[in-house]
Structure 1
């Protein structure tokens, strides 16, 4: 007979949003379970090699902090493990970002969840959901011992791809009105790099163009970012790209093979044509492709482009969004940006985190309810910490009181140090 576990709040997905949701729910006194299919936490930040947090601060000059709470505490935990694991920098696009060491992030997340008493099931996949009267009653999971069931009052989908929403029959969206999503990228890491050399997107572009002219194949994007940390000869490279068409095993396999092949040709191009990379060595690919956009929920409310551009504030706001729309629609070009006022943010309403047709399901991270342009602003990992924290607290409040009372949710978020 399969086992059954019971919790107040269950979070699916252990990335930045999922970990923040779990901590927020546990601090609000909910018995909390976090489920993650990988052997470690962090999501795109650890298993896709994206070693920079965007969105903790507002865009452009005069940056203002937009995210605190659980996200800020994880930064402090990383620094306590290694003072050089976090580096506050001004990026090539002029924004204040945070570069970090992914391996320390894994351990920092472990520590914070343990400290808050969150139960965590790693190596666990969600394979089904049982719903009744418009609510999820239980989910079916599988590990190497077999299938088991988890019951809860409220669920948070932080999978990044709205997997739990999809399995439970929640309304979801894929990309824009024509079904187009943003490009996915497979980051890779190099060592033996002279970071004092010019590694800007412009320098990368010149090197890739020379490599293409010399006959080096399988190079998609010409202009992209190389992320470095002071005092280190290791860098993360964001270049190999592909356009997602779906999330089946066949489609995922094709994308992984394609972008992994691209990596080797970029390494050859850099060694030959990018100063400072002559002796570079490939240390890690991925290990998983990084998605910017796949499925997201259809919420009780939707964040619109004009809300982001006008930095709209609202009474039911549960998080701040400090980023601007950053849209990657081509595999061979840099992103296009929609400018916003410096030092400003917009409010993310509670309804954007709530499924429109599953009453006890919240979304967090890059799959909250937003139109195409607004989505391009809320998907960054700093904002994912904020929406995750909010979703976890909202789920705990609903689990305890039977409804998502916005006053109680905002009061609890304020108590936990979130910025509203």
Structure 2
């Protein structure tokens, strides 16, 4: 079991922090109980990755204030590039650990949609948040890092969409990190009631060169019967963060949870993305794109677990590793007993751009039922010289040819992001990470 002797906060610190936020009693109890569990639980399982030397526990501050903004025009330029300021209707901005800006269309408010920072939501919508917070998606006692997250949560949002409400315009969250001492323990809780529809996109950006903080992000998506949730993300935080990112979905009967994730953080990161297809005819389509550089160590576990009959789960992961970066791609399609008629498919591909780069793709199918469809594909390799030769034979330089091949390799995920400005940002991030 990994030692936490380096943990720099105490239970007393957590109690004081909870009181400063005016947390309701139920959340204070979760925080203090979780803090006790941190010392006894195991670390998350990260296949082929040794976590004993990773520093998840050196926390310089539980809360680093940021600036609030009167309008989106006052945001830093890097943040404004992520937003279509002229047309955006629904947005939440977090600056370090501070609620910086919130805007929700009046029509949605009248329909009962709730968009609020998590610190406010736990008091203003206490019973509703308590009903779902770390209950069906991520559990407090899943592992040492989920317990630490529950104890130290210091940001994030709550999104609630009532029955039969269709949110036609995307809801966007932007987290701006510009203080090297700030740790991000963001919790995102999305609940879509029966036959509700919503598209949510989040962005994490750093405007400093390095961080001394911790990244421990948990997202829970609860989709009730016939609900549809599309979840897009571009994470681009600076090096120095030790990252744990856990995104989970729970889909009921006929529900859909689709993911399009651009995972571009520059720090060492463990990423867990799991969707539970609990209801019959539920489905999830998960697309992930990753670029690693420097000496990054990256571990990505992606799972779709089928409980409902005729459920469909498809996983597509494409990664590019350069310099001495290394990545582990673990993909799991698990069809449980009685989930007859289900379909589990996955594809994991890693492109290595240098001799020292490493990639490992591990497709896993676990099948407990006979009447199912399942398949997988995986590859790890370098840029195809025939593709380069073809492009160069038409007058394109080798550097430009490699650039085109890489963009083509990653584009199946990039084009799935539901906001054009975020697609543009991800392409620019890819360009920066690959060519710098």
Q: If the TM-score is normalised by the length of the shorter chain, which range does it land in? A: under 0.3
TM-score by length of structure 1 reads: 0.24
TM-score by length of structure 2 reads: 0.23
Greater RCO, 1 or 2 (C-alpha within 8 Å, sep 6+): 1
